[in-house]
Amino acid sequence: MAGRQLIAGNWKMNGLKSQLSELTQLVEASKGGLAQRCDILVCPPATLVGEAGGAAGSAVAIGGQDCHAKASGAHTGDVSAEMLADAGASHVIVGHSERRTDHGESDAVVRAKAEAAWRAGLVAIVCIGEVEAERDAGETLDVLGRQLAGSLPEGSTGKNLVIAYEPVWAIGTGKTPTVGDVAEAHAFIRKTVTERFGAAEGAAIRILYGGSVKPSNAAELLAVDNVDGALVGGASLKAADFIAICQGARAA
Ligand SMILES: O=C(CO)COP(=O)(O)O
C-alpha cells in the first residue's frame, strides 16, 4: 500500500472560467481539513491551468490532461510539459483512453509523454485499461500487461509516476467493475511494477482506479486492496460531489 490516497479530478474538455468557483470551494474544504484525509489534485483544461494554480495555492495540486513529447517547436495546438510546469502544474495525465482513441496514441507515444513529464519535473499519471470486448474475451490482464510494458518508462518510481487503471467501458457509463475485479486488476498491476522496478518502488507507485467513481461508490472502491486513490471524471466537476468522494478516502 502506498500511503496516503490521491483523489484526482479530470475535468476533460469542460470548464470555462466560471468553473473555477467549484475549485475555490474545493480549496476551502481542503484547508478546512480535507487535505488531512488525502492528497487532492485537479486537472482542468490547459486554458485554466495557470488561473487554477493561482486559486489553488498549496491546498490543491493542479495538473494537465496531456502533453506533447517535445519541449517546444512547430506543433500547432499542442502543449508541452514545460509549459504546464511553467503555468503551475505539478502533474500531467498521459495516455488517457480518450487520447488513445481520439488521437491514436500508442503505448510508445504515451511512454515518450511520460518521459517528457519527468523532463519538466512533473509527475506522470499514466492511464491504462481494457475495452469491453477485451474484458468479455477474458483478456483484461493481458491488455494491462501489454500497456504497462509499453507505456511505463525505465526509472519509474513512487515519486515520478502514478498509474490510473480505467476500464474503458466504465468511463462515463455509470458502470463499474465489481470490487473483486478491481482488486484483481490492481494486484496484477502491483505485481507487474514490483517485478520491473523493485520492491520499494513497486510498493510506492500509486495505482488509482477510474471509471464512474461517484460519492455513492467511492468509499467502497477506495477500500479495495492496492487502490491508492481515484481518477474522477464527471463527478469532479461539482465541488460537493468531489469533496464527498475525497471524504471516502481511506484514512492514511
Ligand atoms: O475518465 C475518467 C477519468 O479520467 C473517468 O470518467 P468518469 O468518472 O466520468 O467515468
Where are the domains positioned within the chain? 6-247
Cβ–ligand 1 contact at 7 (below 6 Å):
no
**pLDDT beyond 80 at 95:** yes
Catalytic site positions? 96, 166
Q: Would you state the cell numbers that stand for residue 80, as one nine-digit string?
A: 508541452
Look at residue 75 in the predicted model and tell me its pLDDT. 98
Kindly report the pTM of this predicted structure: 0.98
Average pLDDT over residues 64-87: 98
**pLDDT beyond 90 at 3:** no
Average pLDDT over residues 63-83: 98
**pLDDT beyond 90 at 76:** yes
Average pLDDT over residues 5-11: 98
Q: Smallest Cα–Cα separation from 26: which of 240, 250, 230?
A: 240
Residue 232 Cα: closest atom of ligand 1: 8
**pLDDT beyond 90 at 124:** yes
Residue 101, CA atoms < 13 Å, CB-side half-sphere: 11
Quick check: 193 and 163 in contact, CB under 8 A? Answer: yes
Q: Secondary structure of 30-76 in the HEC alphabet?
A: HHHHHHHHCEEEEECCHHHHHHHHHHHCCCCEEEECCCECCCCCCCC
Q: How far is the CA of 170 from the centre of ligand 1 (A)?
A: 8
In whole angstroms, give the CA distance from residue 211 to residue 86. 30
Average pLDDT over residues 179-207: 98
Cβ–ligand 1 contact at 248 (below 6 Å):
no
In whole angstroms, give the CA distance from residue 107 to residue 125. 14
Q: Would you state the cell numbers that stand for residue 188, as one nine-digit string?
A: 496484477
Where are any strands of DSSP class E within the chain? 6-10, 39-43, 61-64, 91-94, 123-128, 161-165, 206-210, 229-232
Look at residue 2 in the predicted model and tell me its pLDDT. 58
**pLDDT beyond 80 at 189:** yes
Cβ–ligand 1 contact at 5 (below 6 Å):
no
Q: How far is the CA of 73 from the centre of ligand 1 (A)?
A: 31
Distances from the Cα of 182 to the Cα of 50, 129, 190, 191, 218, angstroms: 35, 11, 12, 14, 13
User: Tens of pLDDT along 29-64?
Assistant: 999 999 999 999 999 999 999 999 999 999 999 999
Look at residue 195 in the predicted model and tell me its pLDDT. 98
Q: How far is the CA of 191 from the centre of ligand 1 (A)?
A: 25
Indicate the CATH number for domain 6-247. 3.20.20.70
Helices 49-56, 20-29: crossing angle, 10 deg rounding: 30
In whole angstroms, give the CA distance from residue 166 to residue 234. 14
**pLDDT beyond 60 at 1:** no
Read off φ and ψ for residue 234, nearest 5 degrees. Answer: -50, -45
Look at residue 18 in the predicted model and tell me its pLDDT. 97
Q: Would you state the cell numbers that stand for residue 178, as one nine-digit string?
A: 465489481
* Top mutation candidate among 43, 66, 163, 213 for ligand 1, by most atoms within 8 Å of CB: 213
**pLDDT beyond 90 at 251:** no
ipTM for this prediction: 0.99
In whole angstroms, give the CA distance from residue 138 to residue 114. 28
Residue 234 Cα: closest atom of ligand 1: 9
212 marked as part of a ligand binding site: yes
